[in-house]
Chains A and B, each alone.
Chain A
Amino acid sequence: EAGVVQSPRYKIIEKKQPVAFWCNPISGHNTLYWYRQNLGQGPELLIRYENEEAVDDSQLPKDRFSAERLKGVDSTLKIQPAELGDSAVYLCASSLGQGNYNEQFFGPGTRLTVL
């Protein structure tokens, strides 16, 4: 069974440019998460989807970040415009449901460098 797929794996852009990350969750997983992992820190949740609905986006900086999950499968996270402080690894995860005992499976992440 394929795991969570993310692309690109690496992205280098100049500040003020837009950037987008793509995530394909494990087949059948209704819940999808985007996390940001700053260097030397643990991941922090940005947004959680139940199917196509964003049910927790309280940590998403909405002035420059946006996300969508059309048809409740793939998801895209966008930053526009990017700032130097956005350099981090962006992780996507999925789980069967939102219950506390549903294991979250993580993708390899996209490492973003903003110059």
Chain B
Amino acid sequence: GNSVTQMEGPVTLSEEAFLTINCTYTATGYPSLFWYVQYPGEGLQLLLKATKADDKGSNKGFEATYRKETTSFHLEKGSVQVSDSAVYFCALSDLGGYNKLIFGAGTRLAVHP
């Protein structure tokens, strides 16, 4: 079945460091891919998405490129801030399930001043 695998956390960085959170997926066909973020005490929020191969999603300085050849959707940011501390979830949309999201386990990011 379809699945998403994320790098394990926590990821601990200093402010202004470069961030990469790896995400790979297994799916039949060409699903849409998403990154959601969950700040402490809040619900999940869509951070960015890509709906076809080679698409790049971007938002708030974060980027991820849909790589069909490597079945990956790695999240990157050039310079993280303390306010980016959160849990990040990679997800795919199960085409057969009509917008059914399948999530990875999440990666906790802690950014220190």
Binding site for B on A (CB under 8 A): 3-4, 31, 40-45, 48, 55-56, 91, 93, 95, 97-109
Contact = CB atoms under 8 A, between A and B. Distances in A.
A43 B32 CA distance: 17
Contacts of A95: 99
A101 B32 contact: yes
A100 B32 contact: yes
A56 B97 contact: yes
Which of A44, A45, A95 is most buried by chain B, counting CB atoms within 10 A of its CB? Answer: A45
B25 interface: no
A98 B98 contact: yes
Contacts of B103: 42-44
A31 B95 CA distance: 16
- Chief secondary structure at chain B's binding surface: strand
A55 B93 CA distance: 16
A55 B46 CA distance: 24
B73 interface: no
Contacts of B42: 108
Contacts of B75: none
Contacts of A3: 43
B43 A98 contact: no
A108 B103 CA distance: 17
A103 B57 CA distance: 14
Nearest to A107: B43
Contacts of A91: 43-44
A45 B43 contact: no
A100 B43 contact: no
A103 B46 contact: yes
B66 interface: no
A68 to B, nearest CB: 20
